[in-house]
Amino acid sequence: MIAENDATPAEIADPVRMIIDEDACIGGGVCEMLEEATFLLDDDTVIAAIVGDGLLARERAEIVVDRCPGRALSFVEIGSGLEAGTEGRSPGEGDED
């Protein structure tokens, strides 16, 4: 089985990219407990960070966002242009003319 953070968008059904608002994170590590391949709680700062490229299936992303007590988690669509580290859009996305 492929770990989510090792998978490419094509290998995850309906993938999204997770984002953490570090100012809103209150620690506790619910995200890490739910998705240990995607989140890591820093032992010193007690703030969560994204591991790898932060890709999750939308269904799982919605669950972890909903359970974050700090409302610190969100996600962006793959290829939305809002992603950090985006190398380019997927073929066909954003072609509106």
Q: Does residue 56 touch ligand SF4 according to CB under 6 A?
A: no
The DSSP call for residue 8 is: -
CA dist., res. 66 & res. 14, Å (int): 18
Task: Single out the residue of 9, 19, 29, 49 in contact with ligand SF4 (rule: CB under 6 A).
Answer: 29
β strands within 9-83, DSSP E: 15-20, 39-41, 48-50, 55-57, 73-77
Structure tokens at 17: 């990219």
Task: Single out the residue of 5, 53, 55, 70 in contact with ligand SF4 (rule: CB under 6 A).
Answer: 70
* Candidates 4-12, 54-62, 70-78, 79-87; binding stretch for ligand SF4 (CB under 6 A): 70-78
Q: Does residue 65 touch ligand SF4 according to CB under 6 A?
A: no
The DSSP call for residue 78 is: T
Specify the pairing of strand 39-41 against strand 55-57: unpaired
Smallest gap from Cβ 85 to ligand SF4, in A, equals: 19
Which residue, 41 or 78, has its beta carbon nearer to ligand SF4?
41
Give residues in contact with ligand SF4 (CB under 6 A). 20, 25-31, 41, 48, 68-70, 72-73
